[in-house]
Amino acid sequence: MNKNLPKVYASPINKTLTNNKDIFYSSKNESRNLNSNNIPEKINEIFSNPHHVYKSNVSITTKDSTFTATIIGQNGSNLLTLNGERININNIIDIERI
């Protein structure tokens, strides 16, 4: 190795960092829970369950309503149902296997 390399200047950080503690919402009507359940993780658990062969009956809670559906797969940011509907994962607040 070459020991004649120039020194690198690193500016010291002399303040406390509060990254990700301040949150901005453009709409005051919409409330979000920062400690919410991890929906993609729950969906992966449903699909990796040994009882999920082709379809799973689930109860889905969204911002607007609660309903039951039979999900068969996932396509990008959507859940695909047996009826041919697409449910946006971003709108899901909670999902449970029935």
For residue 54, the model assigns a pLDDT of 87
Which residue, 63, 23, 61, is CA-closest to 42? Answer: 61
| pLDDT band at 58; cut points 50, 70, 90 | very high
pLDDT one-digit tens code per residue, 9-48: 888 888 887 776 656 656 655 555 544 568 888 988 888 8
- pTM recorded for the entire structure: 0.57
Distance CA 87, CA 93 (A): 12
DSSP assignment string, 55-80: -EEEEEEESS-EEEEEEEEEETTEEE
Residues forming a β-bridge with 55: none
pLDDT one-digit tens code per residue, 69-78: 999 988 888 9
User: Quick check: 60 and 95 in contact, CB under 8 A?
Assistant: yes
